[in-house]
Amino acid sequence: MEWADEAVVLGVRAHGEHAMVLDVLTRSHGRHAGLVRGGASRKLRADLQPGNSLHVVWRARLAEHLGSFATEPIRVRSGALIEARERLIGLNAFTGVVHAALPEREPHAGVFEAGLVLLDAMIAANTTDWLALYVRWEVGLLTELGFGLDLSCCAATGVREDLTHVSPKSGRAVSSAAAAPYRDRLLKLPAFLLGAQNAVGPGDIQAGLALTEHFLAHRVFYPHGQDLPSARLQLQELVDRLKDI
C-alpha cells in the first residue's frame, strides 16, 4: 500500500538507534504515524520537528501496519515557533489537542487547513491575533468532530443581536437579556467569534479559551476517560498571566 500527502509534524519519538516514529496530521489521511528510517540523523532531525510541513509518502504491506514514511520538507517553521515562549506554548497546545482529540487515520481536512493558517499566524501575527485564531481553530475542531456550537441566534428568544453568552449544556448562544437571570451559569461569548469584523476586546481571549475548553472537555475528552491535554492547560495559564489581552 502507498499514498502521498502533505503533513504537519505533531511529534516524533525514537525507535531503536537510528529510526524515529513520526506522528503527523495530513490533509487527506488524518492523523497518522509511520517509521522514518534514519530519522535520528542530523540531516533529517531538523525536518521532523513539530510545526514543520512535509511532503510524506507512506508505504506498508497492509493497511493496519505502522508502515514507513519518506519525507521531504515543504515549510520549516519549528525554529521560529520555539524562539518565543508564547509561540512554543501555542504550538504545544495545537499538537497536543490534535493528537488527543482526533482519531488516528480519520480525515479532517478542515482541521488541517485551518491548522496551517494558525501555525503561520503564530509566526507572522501579534500574540493577540494568533490567540484569537487559535480559539477559532478550536471552535472549528468541535464542529469537525460533530460538536459544533450554534452561535446564530439566541436559544431562548431567537433574536440574532446582542448575543453575549453560550449555554454550557446545549452549546447555543444566548442574548444579553435572556442571559441576565442565569448569567453565573452561562459561558461568556466573545464578540470576535460572531464575525471577523468584531475586534478582540479585553478578556475576550480568556473567555474564548474557557468556552472551547468546556466543550472539548465535556464532549470530546471526558466521555473517553481523557483529561484536557496539559499543553492546552498551559496555554490557558499563559493567557491568564498576560496583562494586555
pLDDT 10s digits, 74-123: 999 999 999 999 999 999 999 999 999 999 999 999 999 999 999 999 99
pLDDT 10s digits, 44-62: 999 999 999 999 999 999 9
3-state secondary structure the chain: CEEEEEEEEEEEEEECCCEEEEEEEECCCEEEEEEECCCCCHHHHCCCCCCCEEEEEEECCCCCCCCEEEEEEEECCHHHHHCCHHHHHHHHHHHHHHHHHCCECCCCHHHHHHHHHHHHHHHHCCHHHHHHHHHHHHHHHHHHCCCCCECCCCCCCCCCCCEEEECCCCCEEEEHHHHHHHHHHCEECCHHHHCCCCCCCCCHHHHHHHHHHHHHHHHHHHHHCCCCCHHHHHHHHHHHHCCCC
Q: The domain at 2-76 falls in which architecture? A: Beta Barrel (2.40)
List the chain domain ranges. Answer: 2-76, 82-151+189-241
pLDDT 10s digits, 190-218: 999 999 899 999 999 999 999 999 999 99
